[in-house]
């Protein structure tokens, strides 16, 4: 691969990994704060799976860039806000259990379909990471879609609250399918996933669950975007200050 292509691959890897990194961090905030012991453990388990996957992507991303200063840790902890390429959905706050579940549900469906395609990547390492991760992500999807049904088809209170969360987060779903220049380059080379090709399956997959949960499908056609270009919502700075505090205060610290 040429240097330019390696840089695109590097950017592409960060784009995938940042989604899981920021969502993992959000879920990590719930450690010790989950609504019940079981959900607390479940959400942090999911967070751990995501961080494990992120490490695989970052290690690979660090390896292909000709700069000794770039390591998996520097990628996670030392970039500035504009350099993170995650979608806006994953940085949205936990708000309440309904929001936490709706955000997870919207992401898991995408994550599952995305990895299923990534398994066929021409890049051997990416295909291996995808094959490993999809097993974990199918459990995540089972957990979040199960909760969508329980809350939607539960009491009036749980129904109304999960409906509100679904309505509020719906407008962040379209960005999951946006393609940056690096994405397009990787798709052309058979390395990346053509997100537009999985969009239809995505909305079918989530609509089926929402209907079973007796929830209304939001009609809003307004879509938020910007995260993939590094333009984040106001929440991102707070996440990063939590996440980066130790590395910024004690540079190069290790556990």
Partner 1 sequence: MTLTTQNIEPHLEAILTSVSDPEIPVLSIMDMGVVREAIEVDGIVKVKITPTYSGCPAMDVIGDDIVSAFAKAGKTAKIQLILSPAWTTDWITPRGRKALEDYGIAAPLTSEADKEALLGNKKIVKCTNCGSTETHLVSQFGSTACKALFKCDACEEPFDYFKCLK
Chain residues binding partner 1 by CB under 8 A are 38-39, 41-42, 45-46, 48-53, 55-56, 124-125, 127-129, 131-133, 135-136, 139, 142-143
The size of the chain, in residues, is 255
Do 228 and 91 meet the contact criterion of CB atoms below 8 Å apart? no
Q: Which is nearer to partner 1, 62 or 88 (CB)?
A: 62
CA distances from 26 to 166, 194, 199, 236, 243 (A): 18, 27, 25, 10, 10
**Of 190, 169, 168, which is closest to residue 87 (Cα–Cα)?**
169
User: CB-wise, 1 or 41, nearer to partner 1?
Assistant: 41
Nearer to partner 1, 55 or 232 (CB): 55
Alpha-carbon Rg for the chain in angstroms: 18
CB of 118 to partner 1, least distance (A): 13
Q: At closest approach, how far in Å is the CB of 22 from partner 1?
A: 16
Nearer to partner 1, 129 or 210 (CB): 129
Q: Residue 209 CB, nearest distance to partner 1 (Å)?
A: 14
Round to whole Å and give the CA distance between 16 and 5.
17
Shortest Å distance, C-beta 249 to partner 1? 24
Residue 252, judged by CB atoms within 10 A of its CB (0-12, 13-18, 19+), counts as exposed
């Amino acid at each position: 691969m040429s240097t330019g292509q390696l840089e695109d691959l590097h950017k592409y890897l960060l784009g995938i990994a940042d989604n899981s990194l920021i969502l993992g961090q959000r879920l990590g905030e719930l450690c010790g704060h989950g609504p019940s012991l079981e959900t607390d453990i479940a959400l942090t388990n999911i967070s751990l799976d995501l961080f494990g996957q992120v490490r695989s992507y970052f290690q690979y991303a660090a390896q292909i860039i000709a700069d000794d200063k770039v390591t998996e840790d520097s990628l996670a902890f030392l970039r500035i806000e504009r350099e993170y390429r995650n979608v806006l959905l994953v940085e949205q706050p936990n708000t309440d259990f309904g929001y936490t579940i709706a955000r997870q549900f919207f992401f898991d469906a995408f994550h599952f379909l995305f990895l299923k395609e990534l398994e066929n990547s021409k890049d051997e390492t990416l295909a291996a990471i995808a094959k490993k991760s999809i097993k974990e992500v199918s459990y995540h999807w089972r957990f979040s879609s199960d909760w969508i049904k329980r809350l939607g088809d539960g009491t009036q209170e749980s129904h109304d609250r999960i409906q509100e969360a679904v309505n509020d987060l719906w407008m962040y779903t379209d960005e999951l399918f946006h393609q940056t220049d690096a994405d397009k380059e990787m798709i052309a080379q058979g390395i990346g996933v053509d997100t537009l090709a999985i969009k239809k399956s995505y909305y079918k997959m989530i609509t089926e669950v929402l209907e079973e949960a007796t929830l209304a499908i939001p009609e809003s056609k307004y879509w938020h975007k910007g995260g993939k270009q590094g333009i984040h919502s106001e929440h991102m700075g707070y996440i990063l200050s939590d996440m980066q505090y130790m590395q910024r205060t004690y540079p190069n610290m290790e556990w």
